[in-house]
Structure 1
Amino acid sequence: MRNTGVAAVLGALSLLSVAACGGTADSPSGGSADGGTFTFAISSDPGVLDPAMGVLSVTNTVLSLAYDTLARVGPDGKIIPGLAEKWDVKPDSVTFTLRKDVTCSDGSKLTPTDVAANVNHIADPAAKSPIYGVLVPTGMKAEADDAAGTVTLSTPKPFSFILQSTPLIFIVCGKGVEDRSVLARGTSGSGPYTLTEAVPSDHYTFQIRKDYTWGPGGATTKEPGMPAKIVLKVVPNEQTAANLLISGDLNGAIVYGPDRARLEASPGMGKTVQASGNGQFFYHQGDDRPAKDPAVRKALTQAINLKELAGIASTGTGRPATGLVLEPRPCQGDTVTGHVPAFDAAAAAAALDAAGWKAGADGIRAKDGRKLELRLLYATTRGPGVQAAAEYLAAAWKKAGADVKLNGVIDTKLSESLNATQDWDVAWLPIGVTLPTQLVGFLSGPAAPKGANFSHLANARYEKLVAEAQLKPAEEGCALWLESESALFENADLVPVVETTVLTAAKNAKFDTMAGLFIPTSIRMTEAG
């Protein structure tokens, strides 16, 4: 698999991570209020707005207002029509029949050729798209039949989730197909809103399309209460966002940290709690790393009280981790319980002794003259819970005889350190994906920096199970996909700690989200109570 980088699996950086479960933030104020402006806080600037380059969750939140997808995910997790009205699925292909009434924001008609151009552009090595091999399966090609109104996506060999991979592929149409440079700070899609103003690091303004009639379930932009304008305001500080929500200067925001409590207690505030990704840590298994030895990995895992760590990392708002894929999962099941080495400090010490790591006079273990040193990498921008979790891990491992150095960095530096410099031994890395296939390139295959396998995993059982699962239709392969995750945990390749949650809050408005993206036709302004 080609090297896509690791940004696609980084907690809040991942388009796949924020609020993977759908939910409604519904302000309990008055009735609907026609028109108006819906203002929503985003935590950082979305950067380049070309959907083929969209790996950041904030980028895809922005893009979800202006772009549609071939299919969508319904509230129950089932695939429902989007730009395509129907489809025919085979093990190595899916043929979509497009709706005939869809137009782009510039007035041009959406064609199968447009759709095929999107997929083939992402798969083109020259495009260097970071979503290739993650959202668009490796080797996928698209072929259009404009006369028949169909487009066929095919893969070199059977691919389990060939249909399920399409609801996260935004389709560019119109002028953006021919000239993608216009997508840097503009939009060219078939969605219900069009970007009219982009002020980096400040705000992004969208205007409603009055001619939009192909939303989910036949939704249009003529529904009462839909905002005429949407402003996405860059508000990096959650306390500031909470203040603006309470005052009514914002209509919506997603909040991770301690400000959740006062928002939940605020009169007239709509709120819903949603899954936002999994908190876990990876061990670097490069040839020169202590965690290359599975006995060391398992011992270090046994030295941690994961239940305590979960509460610390999530500031008490998390849920027990049950797997790597977020709800609504295509494969239901708990892959964690009974598959992670249990907390046992005495057993951890004995295992490290047996592995040749003996404690010195200073309490630090060493083997063959080399100290047991662990460089713990984590993102400082993920809130106080992650900082506290890193400190908890360091204290526990120091007690077990390791010399731990904390390396807190901002999100962009985290990606660089994981993939390029490789200067880490343990990394706290939130993950949020909707399909198990989206993780395969990061958990197997060529190691970084040549590939996306940033922690140098080489789990033969995982690879065997995945190889078998990928050749089966989605449901038939589920038992294998679930077993493959458990194989990672049993080998202590990565350690699931907690399923984190976020609070989605609304004031004088209501809206639905799915997979961290807006369902734009659900946004309604409500009268202040």
Structure 2
Amino acid sequence: MKAVKVRALAAGLGLAAVLSACSSTDTAAGQSGGAPRPGGTLTYALATSPDQLDPARSGLNVAGRVLRSIFDSLVSLQPDGSVQPWLATKWDISADGTAYTFTLRDDVRFQDATPLNADAVKFTFDRILAPQTKSLTAKFQLNALKSTEVLDARTVRLTLNKPSSALLTNLASPFLGIVSPTAAAKQGDQFTRHPVGSGPYEFVRWDTNSQIVLKRNPGYAWAQPAVKNRGAGHLDEVVFRIVPEDATRIGGAQGGELLAAEKVPAQLAAGVERDKRLRLVKERVTGLPYSLIFNQKQQPWDDVRLRKAVRAGLDVESIVKTLYLGTYERAWSAVTPGVLGYDASLERSYQPDVAEAKHLLDEAGWTAGPDGVRVKGGTQLVLRYVGSYPNNEKSHDIAQLVQQQLKAVGIKVDVDVSSNVAELLTKTGEFDVYPTGTAAVDPDALSGFYSSRILALVNGTQDLAGIADPDIDAWLDEGAASLDSQRRAELYKQVQRKLIDQVALIPIYAPTYTVAASRKVQGLAFDPLNSPIINDAYLAG
């Protein structure tokens, strides 16, 4: 089996089906028509800092943008929605869908010169599942994995607890990149500061909150199929600069200090488009939209009437238009358009209605106090809204507008911008609403947010929304195991409808990944999760 078409991503599904590496290359960096010039440094500004450079331990999309150049995966996800060979040359799937046997290339070496073989694959996946690793995203992506077995130096078998329609797609993720067992064993917890993979660029150093420096891997010769340059990269170095301030980051691209800068805010996009030295790259992001997720473990937000009151009290349309000036689409469901099973019937199925919000609050026994804040039993109605640093994509501005709008219906919003959000979310649970979203190409990503079974399996906590709904759990479980795309689509529609009906979340926007790229940069492409693919990139002129 040299390539497998993932039916979950067929016909316009997933970001990979919308954006090809070739079209991204043309848009992002242009094609000069001449031979690539070797040498030079690509400076690429990130809006936030990765939390880790250990693929097993990180879960941030921004980390994936760096990890993709350091680590390779068993398989690769292609623009047409197919999964094709990469480190694995072929694979066989058992009749019952619970065993995947991969045959590996025999010429791959890690950046520390040790061979990449079946033992390395087993080490990587066993390490992800080990409790002491404290893996989150990678462990979720391997949640169906029961064991990894080495059959010989080039053959490895993954045995699953049940069939998994998302497994092959997940195996293409940078968070399941294969790590050097030698380096990981040597570095221990410090592997995140000294990552070693088999990718086209090697880690040099990480200056905290400043930059991450990579250099060309001279022995590289096993690029994924979408890449034209099968050998070592053209660039000498890639430097990921960490520049949270929008004006500084985009100004750096306009001034030439940076050759690429991600997340161009709407207010600066027009200036980038007018600048003849730059191109504005626009990559549609699919997955779970940026949403306000309620914590239903916390009273009084376990009362659906209060959650509906919050939704009715918010004018999301005006928030999105005010902050993003048409560059982001309003979201209506728990997944974005382009994901298998997206339920378009939910669009405009609810609208802002201040009178209805007030009626729901009255019905629930919350009456207006002397300062306008609703009160019940001597307690004010307070919504604890947890945000995180920095003000990425105007997330803090959203919080302020939510605060202002809900004041009109008598809900006080306390905004806590915390540097320790993970502690609040997974341990103390001391929050009422948390804004988040993630890029993904398969609707199984919903399980990571709304399946109580999966979250308990991964990190011992309840689902983020605190739902523990048996119907949602059952639908998500069946959707993950089913290999019938039509059945999966219907199951995920049922999940979306119940989540919206019960107001487990309030969808805000579906983002677009934007990059201001110098016209000097040629051959830069992006993968389905918006990570830059730098194998073909070079500097012209």
TM-score class, shorter-chain normalisation, is 0.7 to 0.9
Please name the residue that 1:165 is paired with: 170
The alpha-carbon deviation at position 114 of structure 1 amounts to: 0.8
Please name the residue that 2:404 is paired with: 395
The separation in 2 between residues aligned to 1:364 and 1:62, in whole angstroms, is 46
Please name the residue that 2:11 is paired with: none
Please name the residue that 2:238 is paired with: 230
Q: Is the 8 A contact 1:282 1:428 kept in 2?
A: yes
Q: Does 1:520 align with 2:534?
A: yes
The separation in 2 between residues aligned to 1:21 and 1:348, in whole angstroms, is 40
**Structure 2 unmatched ranges of 5 or more:** 1-13
The alpha-carbon deviation at position 186 of structure 1 amounts to: 2.4
Please name the residue that 2:289 is paired with: 278
Give runs of aligned pairs for residues 259-408 of structure 1, distance below 5 A: 259-276=268-285, 278-286=289-297, 288-321=298-331, 323-325=333-335, 329=339, 331-334=340-343, 337-338=346-347, 341-383=350-392, 385-408=394-417
The alpha-carbon deviation at position 129 of structure 1 amounts to: 1.8
The alpha-carbon deviation at position 336 of structure 1 amounts to: 6.7
The aligned amino acid for 1:130 is L
The separation in 2 between residues aligned to 1:472 and 1:29, in whole angstroms, is 42
The aligned amino acid for 1:470 is A
Q: Is the 8 A contact 2:263 2:393 kept in 1?
A: no
Q: Structure 2 vs 1, CA of residues 290 and 313 (structure 1 numbering), >3 Å: closer, same or farther? A: farther
The aligned amino acid for 2:257 is D
1:471 maps to which of 477, 481, 484: 481
Give runs of aligned pairs for residues 435-450 of structure 1, distance below 5 A: 435-445=442-452
The separation in 2 between residues aligned to 1:328 and 1:93, in whole angstroms, is 29
1:156 maps to which of 147, 161, 169: 161
Q: Deviations over 1:134-166 (max 9, x none)?
A: 22215542112225x221222212223122210
Q: Structure 2 vs 1, CA of residues 150 and 439 (structure 1 numbering), >3 Å: closer, same or farther? A: same
The aligned amino acid for 1:457 is I
The separation in 1 between residues aligned to 2:264 and 2:197, in whole angstroms, is 31
The aligned amino acid for 2:464 is F
SS in structure 2 of the partner of residue 165 of structure 1: helix
The aligned amino acid for 1:267 is K
The separation in 2 between residues aligned to 1:301 and 1:463, in whole angstroms, is 24
SS in structure 2 of the partner of residue 392 of structure 1: helix
2:428 maps to which of 410, 413, 421: 421
The alpha-carbon deviation at position 123 of structure 1 amounts to: 0.5
Q: Which moved more, 1:488-497 or 1:224-233?
A: 224-233
Please name the residue that 1:176 is paired with: 183
Please name the residue that 1:13 is paired with: none
Give runs of aligned pairs for residues 488-499 of structure 1, distance below 5 A: 488-499=499-510
SS in structure 2 of the partner of residue 158 of structure 1: coil
Q: Does 1:114 align with 2:125?
A: no
The separation in 1 between residues aligned to 2:99 and 2:48, in whole angstroms, is 37
Q: Which moved more, 1:430-439 or 1:49-58?
A: 430-439
The separation in 1 between residues aligned to 2:359 and 2:257, in whole angstroms, is 58
Equivalenced residues, count = 506
Q: Is the 8 A contact 2:260 2:517 kept in 1?
A: yes
The alpha-carbon deviation at position 450 of structure 1 amounts to: 5.0
Q: Which TM-score applies when normalising by structure 2?
A: 0.84
Q: Deviations over 1:258-304 (max 9, x none)?
A: 33332222112122112356221112212x52211112211221222
SS in structure 1 of the partner of residue 156 of structure 2: strand
Q: Structure 2 vs 1, CA of residues 218 and 245 (structure 1 numbering), >3 Å: closer, same or farther? A: closer
The alpha-carbon deviation at position 380 of structure 1 amounts to: 4.9
The alpha-carbon deviation at position 29 of structure 1 amounts to: 8.4
**Structure 1 unmatched ranges of 5 or more:** 1-15
The alpha-carbon deviation at position 190 of structure 1 amounts to: 1.4
Please name the residue that 1:241 is paired with: 249
The separation in 2 between residues aligned to 1:100 and 1:381, in whole angstroms, is 44
Q: Is the 8 A contact 1:210 1:221 kept in 2?
A: no
Q: Deviations over 1:17-71 (max 9, x none)?
A: 9xx9663453458554332222211234435422211223332222211110011
Q: Does 1:141 align with 2:153?
A: no
1:126 maps to which of 103, 123, 132: 132
Q: Is the 8 A contact 1:245 1:252 kept in 2?
A: yes
SS in structure 2 of the partner of residue 179 of structure 1: helix
Q: Structure 2 vs 1, CA of residues 174 and 422 (structure 1 numbering), >3 Å: closer, same or farther? A: closer
Q: Which moved more, 1:86-95 or 1:177-186?
A: 177-186
The separation in 2 between residues aligned to 1:458 and 1:393, in whole angstroms, is 27
The separation in 1 between residues aligned to 2:139 and 2:233, in whole angstroms, is 40
The separation in 1 between residues aligned to 2:49 and 2:316, in whole angstroms, is 34
SS in structure 1 of the partner of residue 135 of structure 2: coil
Please name the residue that 2:8 is paired with: none
Q: Structure 2 vs 1, CA of residues 59 and 361 (structure 1 numbering), >3 Å: closer, same or farther? A: closer
Q: Structure 2 vs 1, CA of residues 100 and 450 (structure 1 numbering), >3 Å: closer, same or farther? A: closer
The alpha-carbon deviation at position 335 of structure 1 amounts to: 5.4
The alpha-carbon deviation at position 512 of structure 1 amounts to: 0.9
The aligned amino acid for 1:184 is T
SS in structure 2 of the partner of residue 429 of structure 1: strand
Q: Structure 2 vs 1, CA of residues 180 and 485 (structure 1 numbering), >3 Å: closer, same or farther? A: farther
Q: Does 1:186 align with 2:197?
A: no
The aligned amino acid for 1:509 is V
The alpha-carbon deviation at position 381 of structure 1 amounts to: 1.7
The separation in 2 between residues aligned to 1:206 and 1:316, in whole angstroms, is 36
Q: Deviations over 1:161-191 (max 9, x none)?
A: 1222101111013622543436333232111
The separation in 2 between residues aligned to 1:499 and 1:282, in whole angstroms, is 15
The separation in 1 between residues aligned to 2:66 and 2:232, in whole angstroms, is 23
Q: Is the 8 A contact 2:61 2:438 kept in 1?
A: no
The separation in 2 between residues aligned to 1:86 and 1:39, in whole angstroms, is 36
Give runs of aligned pairs for residues 45-84 of structure 1, distance below 5 A: 45-84=49-88
Greater relative contact order (Cα < 8 A, sep 6+): 1
The separation in 2 between residues aligned to 1:371 and 1:487, in whole angstroms, is 29
2:495 maps to which of 477, 484, 492: 484
Q: Does 1:217 align with 2:219?
A: no
Q: Structure 2 vs 1, CA of residues 21 and 357 (structure 1 numbering), >3 Å: closer, same or farther? A: farther
The alpha-carbon deviation at position 227 of structure 1 amounts to: 1.1
Q: Is the 8 A contact 2:183 2:196 kept in 1?
A: yes
